[in-house]
Amino acid sequence: MMDNWPQEAWNQIVTKVSRTSERIGARFPHASVNGEYVLEPAYWWTAGFWPGLLWLIYRDTRDERLRAYAESCEQQLDEVMAAYDKLDHDMGFMWQLTSVARHKLLDGEAGEGSRRRAMLAANLLVGRYNVKGRYIRAWNPWRPDEDNAGWAIIDCAMNLSLLYWASQTSGDPRFRHVAMEHADTVVEHFIRPDGSVNHIVIFDPDTGERLGVNGGQGYAPNSAWSRGTAWAIYGMALSYKHTREARYLEAAKRAAHFFIANLPEDRVPHWDFRLPEDITKYRDSSAGACAACGLLLIAEFVDETESGLYQQEGERMLHALYMKYGSWDQVGEEGLILQGTSHYPEGKNIDVPLIYGDYFFAEGISRLLKHGELFW
């Protein structure tokens, strides 16, 4: 690999986001369709990734225009927090990359205002905790006949950082206790012995008994949705970062080994690692970008005999995304990284750039360049 490729990649990210931000501004892109990011309402689960991307760049460039967009996005989320009854497990994605990021980057009242917002979000997230099943409930019903009070999903492993942060900043251990209870449920019920991962686990909401699993965004209940594996890698590594409990690091490593062992030759995963021959093996670049960030974090915590494996694999995946999946020469494409797969079973946003893929790719490159601490 070229020694300077991470800086070249970062320069491309900064140039492109600076350009696309002129249209997107303080709004909430999700998936790029026909070259242009489709905008979602502020309540959508991906609302934090665009401002998070802007904060990553602001930290390096101090571009006040990007800061203003990110701050406006955060302010728009106030209405979501106060007036929307379908807030779910993804409050971490929404407020970790807006309010917590701003709190970490800015001093004085600006940072304090964001701290208060993030603490309120953390309190709302704790309110979704089911004490019988030891899990944070996924989402509220979208239809009157929908009964999902016992559903928990692997994505929530990434949202636990909001609770760890809340305990650290407030001195109140209750947030950490809830996060660890859910993390223990992930270790016990989500990550399989071979390192593959269940997307949805269903519990009896009254007794906590495990009732079964659901394939969710994977191909089937017993398949291996690659982004779910990435959530487990990074989410468990973050739980270890905040607690230093060895079981979380071991779980992250188990999922990482499965992920690495099932990568295709170009190091960018298919959307599910267990697909029948007659199903198209679309890539999911967002899974690769997220997993790479998790691998880089694991590398910080293992001894020297192991560290190189995780560091090198993370770098290889980011390099592959940059060289083979980047849209740098495509003027009509707003996304940074091509060939993401959002929800194959529902036929939604297949083989397109995704804002969370763009965010994790930028975060990974920023990590290689040692720009600063994680927002998580």
Q: Residue 182: what are its φ and ψ, rounded to 5°?
A: -65, -40
Coil, helix or strand at residue 342: strand
Q: Output DSSP code: residue 182.
A: H
Q: Could you give the CA distance from residue 261 to residue 300 in angstroms, rounded to a whole number? A: 21
> What are the tokens at 22?
């002129």
Q: How many CB atoms lie within 10 A of CB 82?
A: 8
Question: How far, CA to CA in Å, does 6 sit from each of 2, 24, 103, 185?
Answer: 9, 25, 27, 36
Coil, helix or strand at residue 151: strand
Q: Could you give the CA distance from residue 373 to residue 37 in angstroms, rounded to a whole number? A: 28
Q: Which of 63, 88, 107, 155 is catalytic?
A: 155
Q: Output DSSP code: residue 27.
A: S
Nearest to 133 by CA among 193, 182, 187: 182
Q: Could you give the CA distance from residue 98 to residue 48 in angstroms, rounded to a whole number? A: 6
Q: Could you give the CA distance from residue 19 to residue 332 in angstroms, rounded to a whole number? A: 11
Which residues, in sequence order, are bridge partners of residue 341?
350
Q: Could you give the CA distance from residue 99 to residue 313 in angstroms, rounded to a whole number? A: 31
Active-site residue, 90 included: yes
Q: Which of 63, 78, 90, 147 is catalytic?
A: 90
Active-site residue, 266 included: no
What single-letter amino acid sits at 330?
Q
**If 0-12 CB within 10 Å is exposed, 13-18 middle and 19+ buried, where does residue 212 land?**
exposed
Q: Could you give the CA distance from residue 227 to residue 217 in angstroms, rounded to a whole number? A: 9
Nearest to 365 by CA among 59, 158, 48: 59
Q: Could you give the CA distance from residue 192 to residue 198 in angstroms, rounded to a whole number? A: 7
* Residues noted as catalytic: 90, 155
